[in-house]
Amino acid sequence: MNFSKKKVAAYLWSIGSLLFFVSILLFVFVYQPSSGTDADKTSQILSEWVLVATIWRVEAIAAVLIAVSSWYFATVKQSISWFLISFAHIVMILMYANMLGSYPVAAEFYNESPRLFPMLNDKAIWIFGFSNLLFLTGLAGVYLTNKTLPKWMVWTGVIISFLGALASLALYFELITFADLNIGGPLILILFLLNFYLGLKLAKE
């Protein structure tokens, strides 16, 4: 089967979105991150490292796929919205490098260096807030200018992206905590399903 660059980029977008959808489900319902003290969090990381590291590795791969696909659409469509999405996921990859490379050591030596883990965790949260602010702002623009999806999908994508961008902005400025974002979890899952479908539609344009 002969795939054009556009189709490859569109399918990479869909695959990346689906990987994020599945990994978020696993993180929330299988890993179930602790909301307790830093000692509780590091203990859980050590006891369930294989699971959470696998989830983060999958998400890192998803981020790469979306960064590549959105970069293609940014250059072809000359779209600042797609560029924001691509840049956001490049930044996001730094978060996974931080967590995968540093968390197990910080957790293992938490008793000896109790300030190390919260410092690394705060850095990851800062990157998360900043990258998702860019991502969701760009995504709102992508949906707002889309002419092929049904109107209800377009406005669902715009509204969820806009609300997510506001929440990310609040997290970035420490107006809310990472745990507060759990309220919007179902909406983000819906958004990634919409993104999956968007990729399929882009492949057929």
pTM for the model: 0.95
User: Mean pLDDT over residues 104-112, rounded?
Assistant: 96
Q: What is the pLDDT of residue 1?
A: 47
| Residues spanned by the domain of 43 | 5-204
In this predicted structure, the answer to whether residue 2 has a pLDDT above a threshold of 70 is: no
Q: How far apart are CA 159 and CA 152, in angstroms?
A: 10
Q: What is the mean pLDDT of the chain?
A: 95
Residue 119 has which token pair?
């410092």
Confidence class of residue 25 from pLDDT cuts 50, 70 and 90?
very high
Which pLDDT value is given to residue 194? Answer: 98
What would the mean pLDDT of 46-69 be, rounded to a whole number?
98
pLDDT in tens, 58-90: 999 999 999 999 999 999 999 999 999 999 999
Domain count, the chain: 1
pLDDT for 186 equals: 93
- Residues of the chain with pLDDT > 70, as a percent, come to 99
As a three-state string, the secondary structure of the chain is CCCCHHHHHHHHHHHHHHHHHHHHHHHHHHHCCCCCCHHHHHHHHHHCHHHHHHHHHHHHHHHHHHHHHHHHHHHHHCCHHHHHHHHHHHHHHHHHHHHHHHHHHHHHCCCCCCCHHHHHHHHHHHHHHHHHHHHHHHHHHHHHCCCCCCHHHHHHHHHHHHHHHHHHHHHHCCCCCHHHHHHHHHHHHHHHHHHHHHHHHHHHC
Segment 133-157 mean pLDDT: 97
Q: Mutual orientation of helices 49-77 and 80-108 as an angle, nearest 10°?
A: 160
The answer to whether the CB of 203 falls within 8 A of the CB of 10 is yes
